[in-house]
Every structure is written in structure tokens, then in C-alpha cells.
Amino acid sequence: MTRAQLVRLLREYPLAVVSTVGAGGAPQSAVVGCAVSDDLEVVFDTLDSTRKAANLRRDPRVSAVIGWDREMTAQLEGVADFPDGDELERIRAVYFQAHPDGRDRLAWPGLVHVRIRPRWIRWSDFVQRPPFIFESEVARLG
């Protein structure tokens, strides 16, 4: 499976469950609207006052699950950041392509955009018989 194939598949899903590490080390999860760049970056917006934003500023390690309603899912692990400048504009464009209503939220005080750079991904397709499961370090994808 190539990076381009994964991007195409992930773009079919507008939501992700993002899990972060809380201050006491406990896992914390939230459903977010997401978008996927050509480089396999996962982008979402949130308020700076949320637990996930505080968690990611303290510890950028993150995991996410994308897709679950059609017996196909992606699990990924990586590192999140809060781009600024030109990178912020680039990831916002990715996000707005998938979620045009995101432009309206730009007026919200404290809105931030988060980018996840996956390091590991697992794609599972349980529709196929036998199931198709692909797992890889993202750096190894062609």
C-alpha cells in the first residue's frame, strides 16, 4: 500500500478519534473533524482551552483512529504540532477543503489548528475476505 493510496482512503472519512496523554498520564480522547494532506498529515481544529490542546502542548505524542462505520479503519501514532505562518496557512487550506465551514470558526477566540505527522499506521479492511491488514512505519511508504 502506498502513501497516495492511504491518503485517498483516509480522505473518505471526515472524523477521527484523537487520543492524547493527560497531565497525570491518563489517556484522553475526543472526536474531531479531520482532513488529510497529500503528505499524510492529519489536520483538525480545536479551541486552545480544550484538554487535547493543553495535552498536546505538554506532550505532542498522539494516536488517532479514522474510519469505523464501514468495517475499515486506520490507526495511527505520531506527533502533533501547532504550525504558524506559511505552514498554518497550508494546513488550513487542507482542512477547509474537507470542512468549508471551518472558515466560519476562524472568528472564534482561541481557535487553533493542529497537525499530526504520523510515524506509524495500520489500515484494516474487514470487508475483504480474508481481511486485508496493512501496517507500516510512515517513513517507509512510497
In the chain, where the domains are located? 3-140
Please write the tens of the pLDDT for every residue from 82-122: 999 999 999 999 999 999 999 999 999 999 999 999 999 99
Return the number of other C-beta atoms located less than 10 Å from residue 55's C-beta: 23
pLDDT digits (tens, 9 = 90+) for 8-47: 999 999 999 999 999 999 999 999 999 999 999 999 999 9
**What is the value of pTM for the model shown?**
0.95
Task: Report the top-level CATH class of 3-140.
Answer: mainly beta
Distance CA 64, CA 17 (A): 5
pLDDT value of position 13: 96
Give me the long-range contacts of 21-27 (CB less than 8 A, separation at least 24): 21/55, 21/58, 21/59, 21/61, 22/51, 22/55, 23/54, 23/55, 23/58
Rounded percentage of the chain residues whose pLDDT exceeds 70? 100
Asked if residue 52 lies in contact with residue 81, where contact means CB atoms within 8 angstroms, the answer is no
